[in-house]
Structure 1
Amino acid sequence: MPANEKLKDTISHLPHKPGIYKFFDDKGIIYVGKAVDIRKRVSSYFNRSAQHNKKTLKLVSQIKDIQFTIVDTEADAFLLENNLIKQYQPKYNILLKDGKTYPYICIVNERFPRVISTRNKINDGSRYFGPYPSVTTMNIVLDLIRTLYPLRTCTYNLSPENISAGKFKVCLEYHIGNCKGPCEAFIDETEYNYYISQIRNILSGNLTIAKNYFKEHMATAAAEFQFELAHQYKQKLDMLEDFQLKSTVVSNTLTNIDVFSITSNEQCAFLNYLKVMNGSIILTQSLEVQKKLDEADEDILASVIVQLRQEFESTSREVISNIEITLPLDNVTVTYPQIGDKKKLLNLSLKNAMYLRKEREGRLEKNRELSDQREVRVLETMKKDLRLTELPRHIECFDNSNFQGDNPVASMVCFKNGRPSKKDYRHFNIKTVVGPNDFESMYEIVTRRYRRLLDENQPLPQLIIIDGGKGQLSFAVKALKDLDIWGKVAIVGIAKRLEEIFYPGDSLPLYIDKKSESLRLIQRIRDEAHRFAITFHRSKRDAGTLKTELTDIKGIGPVISDQLLNKYRSVKKLRELSLAELTAEIGKSKAAILFNYLHPDSQL
């Protein structure tokens, strides 16, 4: 269970009911989850810590408060979770946050309706179709409609009164055949609206009515020897059939289906969505989702299905998937086809998801190769600049840190193949040197580091960098000689002021071109060693200050000081504790003494 008593109490009062839970840190919501049993699910984060990965453990360590909302069913919890994730975008939830506003085709609610493109849905009675995954896809459909049907593009108010009064004149669109001239009553409203009804069918994925219309008119025109008109209808029929082929006709027996597939690696999941209407694929979308807490594929897919169905306004009653998922949506069934047309659809979707994965992983691999090539190039340059006999794939750098002789410490950072190897970083407390003596301190830490590597039969670095001038370098060389590894490892020193590189026994420094990649890497390594040493020194100094302040309190001895120091690190954090929390840590009497010291204005 968590150490924080407030969280313990909150969890103990959570309900055994379905709903959602929200985790908060000091700044706001960091995670939203759903559960059939809220208390059991939330408790599992704290009771099963040994089973959690690093990301989940980090999430748990940041939780400062928990809130929940009870709902009637698991389906309600699923939808509420999805909406809250969209609203708050917590950093530990997977997000579909591409920021896009998808385009629609709109049949405007007006007399002699226009057909336009828009990104804004307004509740004004207009009919919207889409959204489309890209403007290009939408424009293909829109161009087809405008080619097949002569619709107006003007924004005139074509009321019966305005037309009767002759307020408008036909424009160029009428003269080039793109409009029938409703502004001057050259086409009646019934015929125009029949065009609109066919457009609605086409946009809904049903091309049969429009195709039959052009077939009948083509036959009638041919029978009346109007061959030019018949040819025009034939061209429009061919356009429709060509469009249907490009829309990927799946099967005349399939109606409205959503097809989802997923494949993943350790870092990402790759998904594909096919929207099928009236036997044709009218929309396809592939996407990549970054994993935040090592989520299972079924959890990611279920979440994405809800988001994409909302985004693309799907009302399909059937969802096809390549993995088993629980989708608590009303009147929606999930199927896992093994044969037939649905299996072909699923294979097509999975093929698209796999292609996206292959493309992204290939790009990452290429970037890795380019990065490796760059690092080898930099190391080759360093070998040349420093006159080394072998490529410095393993570099270690030492730095000392103290403040007016107080708390002397040192650090060693390790770079392998030009990259930080943080698991090999080391801190050193200076043990054998009294007072501020950087030279002797350098001798001590170099000796300790490489004696241990020799004792453990670990490989030595190809290059040692000493952050300091000739004095510190000479003492590091003395340590290598005493260990009998002098000459087996290259060693140089770098002075801070002019970025001078010193070699053992050479009175004149080496100046590397300031634009050289090898100098930039040396500076980066030196700065990292300095940062690492300073951080360690500050923590030691702060800890020492806290310990001194606590031991100065009458009644608080070194044992209690060490106990509080190890856990809370600062007086500020101790002041945030209540009397009850202090009592739980060090007992009632000592807690009262410490509380009165930390809060002099509220004496007990």
Structure 2
Amino acid sequence: MPTKSETPVFDHKAYLSRLTERPGVYRMLDVAGDILYVGKARNLKNRVSSYFRQSGLSIKTRALVSRIADIEVTVTNSETEALLLEQNLIKSLRPPYNILLRDDKSYPYIYLSSHEKYPSLTFRRGRSKRAKGQFFGPFPSSAAVRESLNILQKLFKIRQCDNSYFNNRTRPCLQYQIKRCTAPCVEYISPEEYQRDIRHAAMFLEGRNPAIMDDLLAAMKAAAEALEFEKAARYRDQINNLRHVQEQQSIEAAGGDADIVALTQDAGVVCVVVIIVRGGRVLGTRHYFPRYSLEQDDGELLSAFLGQYYLAGDAQREIPHDILVSVALPEAELLSQALSQAAGREVSVRGNVRGERRRWLDLAKTNAQQTLISHLASKETVYRRMLALRDLLELEQIPQRMECFDISHSHGENTVASCVVFDENGPLKSDYRIYNIEGVTAGDDYGAMRQVLTRRYRKVAQGEGKRPDLVFIDGGKGQLNVAREVFESLGIQDIPLIGVAKGVTRKAGMETLVDALTDESFRVAPDSPALHLIQHIRDEAHRFAITGHRQRRDKKRRQSTLEGIEGVGPRKRRDLIHYFGGIQEIRKASIEEIAKVKGIGSGLAEAIYAALHNE
């Protein structure tokens, strides 16, 4: 574990006494003068003071405060200006305690050139202010741009060559031969007809397909009336192709531009998915895995992400009219004002939507969950975490099999224990096991842990079953001591045991690890890949234990409480239910009342009463 650096002396009381109450941006610096964190505030004095209160701070925030040697501020005229400045500073300074968006690549666009007679449609990365033509997009990926260009080439036969190639042609190229271009380079098409195709291509990119259809139908009718049947046939083919493309569109809506943003987090990793909608058409999605160090909820994380995503300097991202979000944002109104100011028009940030937009939002949430699951399961991610775990625990090699145990019950009833297994490829679900715990005092988690570990590793001690290289116990020193006792009683000495104890706040990143061999407790940096792997294993054990417990509980509930009582057959059960009206009323009844039911004697009534009251 890294050693703690010497805590810098910062007289916050003296500093706060002279700090202004105006809006602005504050920068926290360490003893070396490096930026730790950048934040914005409506009232600088109140906001900065909150970091130095006596209680209520998270562990991560206290760690940040302990490193502060100085604070610099920049006063602004409004909180909106402060938000814009904050995002630019985060972009340029990249402080370690701010959420950081690593993917700075500009979105790809389709560019309609400014050629006087015969413009072209081409791929462009980023939106240049110096370009005189028109940009359409942004698209989520270069593949989405090329797919759209391919469709446009089939529908409208617009040239996609650069000007130097176009200006030096003396005969049509292959694109004309395969009917993907009208050969404007040798003027096989008039500028007027070509401009009509350009107008239709622009309308298509804007999502105005019905208007294109009306234009083409009118042009086909006019050509037919003028007896220009070949031209009418070309319009007919365009109409048919356009209809075919519309049928292939998976998601259509009434129109509008929007970005739909959903966030999910698990095992110490945050995933944000952005679905891009332009002209009512979903163009595709992009996903991000921003790094963060401070303890924040989903709303705070998403607010920080959106600020960097749209406002951080040279990102060159288009701000749509609507931004739909999956969680409530603490500063949605402020963010809307800042985005409106940056875009030069009104921008709405909201999550309470209905109809088609609600379906978009649900789609974004599903994409975020699936993307995070895939990311956590990817071989590259798993291998990187395995290496980090090996180094953290100082193991000789990467563990080939890891097992983790957890206990689940409801007020001590229906206790089960889970055993989940991870190998070098991640979760090995075929080896997951649920153990029903019997003969243990209700609520005795230590006894339950002793039973499941004894049952699991007795066979290992006898040379049977699969032997793990590392075992995690979901719990603190008490649970770990039970595991150590079981291993010692079975003569197992060469399998490392690690306890995973939740912190005081019981939030991800606050875990304390306990080594059974040295009895040492230690914490790991919240952004450590090794900790993320341990969290993943622990969370999977917890999830599987709860699933097993619910299945056992539900199975018991489906079975009549009267079943299994000796002497109470189907007829007596029916008579009891009919007499009392239900199992709850039977539980409330005394032995004497139960004995009043036809066929139920006093002895059987006592047995029924005892069974219903666990006596």
Q: Tell me the TM-score normalised to structure 2 length.
A: 0.56
Q: Which residue of 2 aligns with 1:150?
A: 157
Q: Deviations over 1:302-350 (max 9, x none)?
A: 2333444455744433333333222322333334436433333332332
Kindly provide the CA deviation profile for residues 88-122 of structure 1, in whole angstroms up to 9, marking residues without a partner as x.
22221112212534322112233322211122543
Which residue number corresponds to residue 42 of structure 2? 36
| Structure 1 residues 5 and 65, CA gap change in structure 2 (3 angstroms) | closer
Residues 165-206 of structure 1, C-alpha deviation per residue, up to 9 Å, x if partnerless? xx7512324455444444444434333333323222222332
Identity %: 24
Distance 2:279 2:373 in 1: 31
TM superposition shift of 1:299: 1.7
Q: Would you say the 8 A contact 1:7–1:66 is kept in 2?
A: no
**SS of structure 2 residue aligned to 1:110:** coil
Distance 1:178 1:323 in 2: 45
In structure 1, the gaps of 5 or more residues are: 378-382, 395-414, 425-452, 465-486, 493-524, 533-604
Q: Secondary structure at the match of 1:270?
A: strand
Amino acid at match of 2:51: Y
Q: Which residue of 1 aligns with 2:348?
A: 333
* Deviation string, structure 1 residues 31-79 (Cα, Å, up to 9, x no partner): 111211122212211224x322222222222222211222222222222
Aligned equivalent of 1:65, options 63, 70, 80: 70
**What does the per-residue CA deviation read over 1:529-567, in whole Å, with 9 as the maximum and x for residues that have no partner?**
8x99xxxxxxxxxxxxxxxxxxxxxxxxxxxxxxxxxxx
Q: 3-state DSSP class of the match of 1:51? A: coil
Matched AA of 1:333 = S
Which of 319, 325, 344 aligns to 2:323? It is: 319
How far apart are residue 15 of structure 1 and its match? Answer: 1.7
Structure 1 or 2, whichever has the larger Rg, is 1
Q: How has the CA–CA distance of structure 1 residues 266 and 134 changed in structure 2, closer, same or farther, with 3 Å as cutoff?
A: same
Tell me, yes or no, if structure 1 residue 189 matches structure 2 residue 204. no
> 1:140 is matched by which residue type in structure 2?
E
Return the structure number with greater relative CO, CA threshold 8 A, min gap 6: 2
1:122-201 aligned within 5 A: 122=128, 123-156=130-163, 169-173=170-174, 174-201=176-203
1:278 positional shift: 3.2
Taking the TM superposition and a 5 Å limit, the aligned residue runs for 1:437-452 are none
- Quick check: 1:390–1:462 contact (8 Å CA) kept in 2? no
Task: Provide the C-alpha distance between the structure 2 equivalents of 1:230 and 1:255, rounded to a whole number of angstroms.
Answer: 32
- Superposed displacement of residue 489, structure 1: 6.3
Say if 2:220 and 2:233, in contact at 8 Å, map to a contact too.
yes
One-letter amino acid of the counterpart of residue 282, structure 1? L
Q: For residue 238 of structure 2, what is the aligned residue in structure 1?
A: 236
Counterpart contact for 2:29–2:69, Cα < 8 Å: yes
Aligned residue in 1 for 2:470: 417
Classify the secondary structure of the residue corresponding to 2:71: strand
Secondary structure in 2 aligned to 1:78? Answer: helix
**Which of residues 101, 116, 122 in structure 2 aligns to 1:116?**
122
Name the residue aligned to 1:510: none
| Distance in 1 (alpha carbons) for counterparts of 2:355 and 2:20 | 46
Structure 2 contact 273–368 (Cα < 8 Å) conserved:
yes
Output the amino acid matched with 1:278: G
SS class of match (1:271): strand
Residue number in structure 2 paired with 1:295: 296
State how far apart, in whole Å, the 2-side matches of 1:209 and 1:46 are.
61
Give the partner amino acid of 2:361: L
Paired AA for residue 267 in structure 1: G
Counterpart CA distance in 1 for 2:481 and 2:189 is 94
5 Å-filtered alignment, 1:311-390, equals 313-325=317-329, 326-327=331-332, 328=334, 329=337, 330=340, 331-337=346-352, 339-360=354-375, 371-372=402-403
- Identify the residue that residue 280 of structure 2 maps to in structure 1: 279
Let me know the Cα RMSD of the aligned residues.
4.7
Match for residue 75 of structure 1 among 61, 71, 80: 80
Which residue of 1 is the match for residue 500 of structure 2? none
Contact 2:16 2:49 in 1 (8 A): yes
CA contact under 8 A between 2:140 and 2:284: conserved in structure 1? Answer: yes
Q: Distance in 1 between matches of 2:243 and 2:373?
A: 34
1:107 and 1:114 in contact (8 A); partners too: yes
* Residue identity opposite 2:261 in structure 1: F
* Displacement after TM superposition at 1:142 (Å): 0.8
Retained in 1: the 8 A contact 2:402–2:469? no
1:100 aligns with 2:102: no
What's the TM-score, normalizing by structure 1? 0.57
Distance 1:182 1:226, change over 3 A: closer
Structure 2 Cα separation of the partners of residues 153 and 459 of structure 1? 68
Equivalenced residue count is: 413
Aligned twin of 2:89: 84
Structure 2 unaligned spans of 5+: 1-6, 341-345, 387-399, 404-420, 432-456, 495-514, 522-615
Shift of 1:460: 5.2
